A = this chain, B = another copy of it.
Amino acid sequence: MKISLTSGKTISCSSESSILESLRKEDVHLTASCGGKGTCGKCRVIIKEGAVRSLSTAKLSQEEIDKGYALACKSFPEENLLIEIPKDSFLTLEGKIAVGKARDLAELLQSAGVRIEPLTERVLLNLPQPSIDDNISDLERLKRGLMSKGLGCLRVPFRLLPGLAHKVRENNWEITLCTVQSEDCYELTNIFPGNTQSPRYGFAIDIGTTTVVVYLVDLADGRLIDIASVYNSQISFGDDVITRIVHAVDHNGLGALHKAVISDINTMFSILRKTHNIDINSIDSIVIAANTTMTHLFLNLDPASIREEPYIPTANLFPLSYAGEVGIRVNPNTPIYSFPCVASYVGGDIVAGVLASRMHKKEDLCLFLDIGTNGEVVLGNSEWLMAAACSAGPCFEGSGIKYGMRATEGAIEDVKINPETIEPEIKVIGDTAPIGICGSGMIDLIAEMFFTGILNQKGKLQKGVSNRIREGAGGLEFVVYSGNGREIVIAEPDIENIIRAKAAIYAGCSVLLKEVGFNFEDLHKIYIAGGFGKFLDIDKAIILGMLPDIPREKFEYLGNTSVTGAYLCMLSRWMRDEAEEIARKMTYLELSVSRSFMDEYVSGLFIPHTDMNAFPSVKNLIKG
């Protein structure tokens, strides 16, 4: 069967693959924030001719359905189709706003006192032409050339031999060699005819449970060229790591989960390469940082034992793999460095975060808090590091919140509520019409609603306070925005989710400190990581009771530290050494079995907290 696009292209399809999948195979990428679950309603197409079997029409109005709109992810061709793809449905990579962070990255690298020495290098050789008197073989000639550059110990794998004779002769014995150096190997990865020393690029990737972020980096100077991010398509198999492991184990779904995230990465690579006109053979390195389960699924490793006591991953320190081994569509010999993990529930993303925070180099006690899908916290200094996971859930990344979204264009990132008029004033990323609320916006919103009395300490909406409060399908809701034929509301179930998440985070930090005999006052610094966007309003987060009420200057918001760590390791072997040392040094405290964690958590299910004495500045504000 075939699908013809009104734009001219024709692709093949089958009744077993959704239109979304068939388009993706042909490099036509549609937005599908929900990972193809049929819930986000973004992958709309208009069926002009032919019949489809549609399993869901969520978020489509009857009028749209009548006009032929269908969700590509849930529609399966029954015959040849002619479809139109509305402009809005095309995937545009998000997250570009963070490109502003480029300067910070270079500064970070400099402040760590390391020079750029990427995972992979390129070496130019101009070999003498063979003659009757100098008739050693091509391989020996190449090795002699390497020896003269001090690279005699480099391993040359067999796979580079076929084709070698052509490559050395193609540009008159001038060749460029790609090398990789990691803990377990120092070897040649590729050979290209002629001088291809530049340009060369790397992809640093944060594979989050909810979001996958890619940094495209110039390996010569460490310049961040572009950023892409998409929702992790594995979402269609479950929101958290546990349901994904269950899917892998009970539904023989490892292959599908693996393919989903590989496909997300390939999509971003393909768009970034096209945008910046980058040749596939100029991609030299890939570094991924991810939690232990995401790392396993990316590498196609069985995650079953991660979930079963005594919680054993296949590996914590991963040997180097190659793009061809995991299905990444660049040169198959491009090496992939996977961040070391600590244990089943403390992964490479946290190691990367500590690395980016530099807390492992500080004498004073610091706390690192990563507010991602799970919520992890690390306490320690240059002597020791202890980590815990708080099971906060992915609501600050937009998941589980009706109008939640990531910090990308169209997200409300900042909310102020006028105490007089009780009318909200919003700031939207990209200054466009809002389409949802991101993590920082949610924190602002709850804090402001609490402060203006729209919300009580228990997180219940106070019906009389604002006429924006109304009865919705899921209980009371507050209309944050209404305009352009669109409404953005926050409902009580959303608020409950946010309160549960912030309570878990606060409890995690608090209990971890207590376990080692410290409290919040002993902290020199609190580093906060997470996909909140450019800013996180610390004051509002304290009012919410997510962060402790200590001097504001002790807080530092670092953004996505997982991808920052991946960036650092791609550019410096010293950073890789440090990452491995962090992973070795870090110990893990299991909170889920801790009674004091449950107590702290329950106490935190108020705004800001049951114990108002722990939040003196908030207490003062309310009094004032």
Contact = CB atoms under 8 A, between A and B. Distances in A.
Interface of A: 130-132, 134-140, 155-159, 161-166, 169, 184-185, 299-302, 304-305, 309-322, 325, 343
23 contacts: A132-B310, A135-B310, A137-B317, A138-B312, A138-B314, A138-B315, A139-B317, A140-B315, A140-B316, A155-B184, A155-B319, A156-B319, A159-B325, A161-B299, A161-B314, A161-B315, A161-B318, A162-B300, A164-B301, A165-B304, A165-B314, A166-B302, A169-B305
Given A135-B310, A309-B132, A312-B130, A317 B158 contact: no
Contact of A162 (B136, B137, B299, B312): B299
Contact of A319 (B134, B138, B161): B161
Number of copies: 2
Given A137-B314, A140-B316, A161-B299, 14 more contacts: A131-B310, A138-B313, A139-B314, A158-B318, A158-B322, A161-B318, A162-B299, A162-B300, A164-B301, A165-B301, A165-B302, A165-B304, A165-B314, A166-B302
B315 A137 contact: yes
A593 to B, nearest CB: 10
Nearest to A344: B135
Contacts of A130: 310, 312
Contacts of A322: 158
A299 B158 CA distance: 9
Given A165-B304, A302-B166, A158 B325 contact: yes
Most chain B CB within 10 A, of A135, A161, A299, A322, is at A161
A88 to B, nearest CB: 39
Nearest to A305: B165
A159 B300 CA distance: 10
Q: Which 7 A-B pairs have the closest CB atoms?
A: A139-B315, A158-B321, A165-B302, A158-B319, A137-B316, A132-B310, A137-B313
A610 to B, nearest CB: 33
A164 to B, nearest CB: 5
A140 B316 CA distance: 8
A163 B309 contact: no
A158 B315 CA distance: 11
A318 to B, nearest CB: 7
A139 B299 CA distance: 14
Contacts of A157: 319
Given A161-B319, A319-B156, A319-B157, A137 B302 contact: no
Given A130-B312, A301-B162, A315-B161, A156 B184 contact: yes
A321 B313 CA distance: 30
A314 B185 contact: no
Nearest to A335: B158
Contacts of A163: 302
A299 B305 CA distance: 40
A596 B161 CA distance: 38
Contacts of A165: 301-302, 304-305, 312, 314
Contacts of A159: 325
Given A304-B165, A305-B165, A310-B132, A185 B155 contact: yes
